[in-house]
Structure 1
């Protein structure tokens, strides 16, 4: 049976179960997992400052110039997370029955989600409600109403309609759904027909690897994107579900297939150049569409360009990661264990520190640097404490400590 450490949202690339062919440890996948979540933290710090983009609270130092780099990252950041999560699913699957896999993954995903919603997240809607002027300051009084399931004035915080929110923890709920669905489909996926489909995907080379997997994304953009804007509420997110589940399955199909990863390395300059060209085309087209007043729902060709950029960027990232990061970095073991609690904690840390730093008026340079450094310090410190408290470890996604 796989160790508990391999049951995190992103499993480590440990060796296969007894009797299987030996697979060398893939340090690049471990590093990519850690760096993807580090990017999420930096991205959420930047969300406090990017002008005209909705977030829970906003800085008075909001900057227009941040929109272009934020778009460049936003178009693939969560797709990368779900793709690597799908890759990890294939590793965790080894040695588990389907019911055992669902049970193990449910424990590792839903327990931290419940704890995060009850303990970590509630400060975020409080800070947002105060910033919106729709609730009075006083965290204790807010929490009494929040836990009692009170109703809120419209727009008090994101998720006010439901009375509670999971904010950034939506990823855990979505990942649990995709994991459960794919686990239930494993008899089909591992059948002769399923293995042929997987072999066809992993056998793609050259232009086919760049062009074929993006076709479902283009179809989703044509059929779903105009009608289902992102909500992260699980129920009304048909377009995102289609995209995220597809790249999740792509990750599962990719696995650690050596010829496919060698092809990703071979194509890394081509996919990087293609991603850069498509990004320039997308940003230029978006600026023109905004200047001409074209409605967002009428920008389907731009959405298709974004889909192409998304897939090209993912291929480039995977290829360069395998080329440059596949070595035993000294920080990898610590980072692999820290990823989950840092993800749970970081956004509340960002918002609490932003509120605390605002009166100091540090300015548009020192304040974001202090906010990022403070977030790292808070996540580091709390995780260091949690590591030493056995009953807290599973609540923040850490495996039980080994004797």
Structure 2
């Protein structure tokens, strides 16, 4: 069966170790970011009494691009899956749809009804405390909590709005990956190979400086058009700016994954991309710091300029990471094989562990570095424990996104492509 993408992306290795390493690193950064959310002034499910606003500019190093990068890498991994299906014969689109559904849907449902509810429980608990409820745990607020959570009958509302359940919270990434994968699966089988045409066009457009210019232009247009109208909600329906951003990144990753031309171009442009990334981060972080108050009203001209800066920030960091990764992260090994599968269960469980650990540590009034260090340690320990349980659980491991082990010794097959979360 002929490939769905351009000849430049055809023969080649079945694995990009640099993309695996980038994916692992991005998930680890995400865990640290969510720990940081306990200690900054931004909304989160629970908050530590140790609020340090000065941490926020450093949180902004990753906040504009961390999930967008994961969508790029996940799209690239999906491309490798399609190549593998085509090499083995059969209908690649149908096999991709089945694979994505099997990998993502059980984990999403298990996460929504088992992993995520403790986050909502402690969010309601802390909100009730804020409203003066003396003993929230034994109040009508939390009585029969899971039943109310699962049946959307909690009625948990305060001045800031209502908590809608069941919810996927941080698992919105999984909830979005599934339909994106199914959409690509449908496109793979279309007559005329539209993905092949789009892939060839993308490779030509992103040759040279186009690799920086066109993605930044696309992101800038989104900031001026959809972003002011559609707030990011992670609710799927109506989240049109986020879909344009995230699916655009996913599709871009799919189209460029096997292009040696663009891989080399990422390497060539890594230094200018890194300079752009640092400069745009400094500008955006300064702007966000100066106008951080809820009632701040920056001049419209400055707001428009910052929309451009934000778009530069979003893509320059991704381009720099992809370039340095392609240059220096080209080796696999047992550690990468272990972590490239493990980061998905890490992602599923990490935020609940962060919130539960913080909840029970906060009453101890520990110094902030000690409290944060214990939260991080507990989170990584629980993530590794969850992965070890999942990888030994056969088909039940799919509840945490881990497929049954394969290969001669029961380990992960050596030539398996990178696995999208």
TM-score higher than 0.5 here?
A: yes
User: Alpha carbon RMSD of aligned pairs, Å?
Assistant: 2.5
Residue 104 (structure 1) aligns with: 99
- For residue 400 of structure 1, report the CA deviation from its aligned partner: 1.4
Residue 25 (structure 1) aligns with: 15
Residue 137 (structure 2) aligns with: 137
Q: Give 1:338-353 correspondences, 5 Å limit.
A: 338-353=342-357
300, 305, 315: which is aligned to 2:319?
A: 315
* Contact kept? 1:125, 1:158, Cα under 8 Å: no
* Contact kept? 2:219, 2:245, Cα under 8 Å: yes
- Taking the aligned partners of 1:192 and 1:122, their CA distance within structure 2 comes to 43
Matched, 1:68 2:57: yes
Q: Give 1:320-399 correspondences, 5 Å limit.
A: 320-399=324-403
- For residue 300 of structure 1, report the CA deviation from its aligned partner: 3.0
SS of residue paired to 1:53: coil
- Note the alpha carbon deviations across 1:129-164, whole angstroms, 9 max, x for none: 001116821577312332343131314999723x32
SS of residue paired to 1:398: coil
- Taking the aligned partners of 1:158 and 1:250, their CA distance within structure 2 comes to 36
Q: How does the TM-score come out when normalised to structure 1?
A: 0.88
Q: Give 1:14-163 correspondences, 5 Å limit.
A: 21-23=11-13, 25-50=15-40, 52-94=41-83, 95=85, 96-133=91-128, 136-137=136-137, 141-155=144-158, 160-161=163-164, 163=165
Structure 2: gaps spanning 5 or more residues? 1-9, 86-90, 411-421
Residue 242 (structure 1) aligns with: 244
- Name whichever of 75-84 and 357-366 sits farther off: 357-366
- Taking the aligned partners of 2:390 and 2:181, their CA distance within structure 1 comes to 27
The runs of at least 4 consecutive aligned structure 1 residues that moved more than 6 Å come to: 156-159
Equivalences, count: 382
* Contact kept? 1:286, 1:302, Cα under 8 Å: no
Q: How does the TM-score come out when normalised to structure 2?
A: 0.84
Residue 191 (structure 1) aligns with: 192
- For residue 288 of structure 1, report the CA deviation from its aligned partner: 4.9
Q: Give 1:224-263 correspondences, 5 Å limit.
A: 224-263=226-265
- Taking the aligned partners of 1:156 and 1:401, their CA distance within structure 2 comes to 49
- Taking the aligned partners of 1:240 and 1:382, their CA distance within structure 2 comes to 30
* Contact kept? 1:122, 1:143, Cα under 8 Å: yes
- Taking the aligned partners of 2:43 and 2:226, their CA distance within structure 1 comes to 22
Residue 201 (structure 1) aligns with: 202
Structure 1: gaps spanning 5 or more residues? 1-19
- Taking the aligned partners of 1:75 and 1:296, their CA distance within structure 2 comes to 22
- For residue 289 of structure 1, report the CA deviation from its aligned partner: 5.0
Q: Which has the higher contact order (CA 8 A, sep 6+)?
A: 2
- Taking the aligned partners of 1:289 and 1:337, their CA distance within structure 2 comes to 41
Matched, 1:264 2:266: yes
Residue 275 (structure 2) aligns with: 273
Specify whether residues 303 and 360 from structure 1 end up closer, same or farther in structure 2 by C-alpha distance, changes over 3 A only: same
* Contact kept? 1:125, 1:157, Cα under 8 Å: no
Specify whether residues 290 and 64 from structure 1 end up closer, same or farther in structure 2 by C-alpha distance, changes over 3 A only: closer
